[in-house]
């Protein structure tokens, strides 16, 4: 007689479905494009603000080029690119593992003794 654990097949299936949805949510939250894009936008804003009113010594060091402004704008554009890419091509949900329900599953014959 098989042991029963008190869970029906429906309970197990519901639990598996819930875990799969949590896994898909975690995959979307921790997508590297979101993290990289967010950091580039944040640092881009900071560097761009620093480049809006440069001092004369900063411009002299960079031979007259407002390097903070241009670098900050470049970082902003790169961060926005990553975030737009994430929006246009979201992470697909993970594919559930294939179960062995095909022919021959569990039908192995024992060798004759």
Calculate the CA dihedral of residues 65, 71, 76, 78 and round it to 10 degrees.
Answer: 130
**pLDDT above 80 for 77:** yes
User: Between residues 101 and 10, which one has the greater pLDDT?
Assistant: 10
The span from the CA of 41 to the CA of 80, in Å, is 7
What pTM did the predictor assign? 0.60
Section 44-70 average pLDDT: 92
Task: State phi, psi for 104 to the nearest 5 degrees.
Answer: 90, -5
pLDDT of residue 101: 57
**pLDDT above 80 for 33:** yes
How does 18-40 read in b/e, with b if 16+ C-beta sit within 10 Å? Answer: eeeeeeeeeeeeeeebbebbeeb
pLDDT of residue 83: 94
Structure tokens at 57: 């010594």
């Amino acid at each position: 007689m098989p042991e029963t654990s008190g869970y029906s097949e429906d309970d197990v299936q519901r639990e598996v479905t819930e875990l799969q949805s949590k896994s898909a949510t975690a995959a979307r939250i921790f997508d590297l494009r979101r993290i990289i894009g967010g950091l580039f936008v944040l640092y881009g804003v900071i560097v761009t603000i620093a480049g809006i009113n440069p001092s004369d010594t900063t411009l002299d060091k960079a031979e007259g080029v407002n390097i903070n402004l241009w670098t900050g704008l470049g970082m902003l554009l790169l961060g926005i690119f990553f975030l737009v890419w994430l929006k246009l091509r979201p992470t697909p949900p993970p594919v559930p593992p294939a179960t062995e329900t095909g022919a021959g599953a569990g039908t192995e014959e024992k060798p004759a003794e």
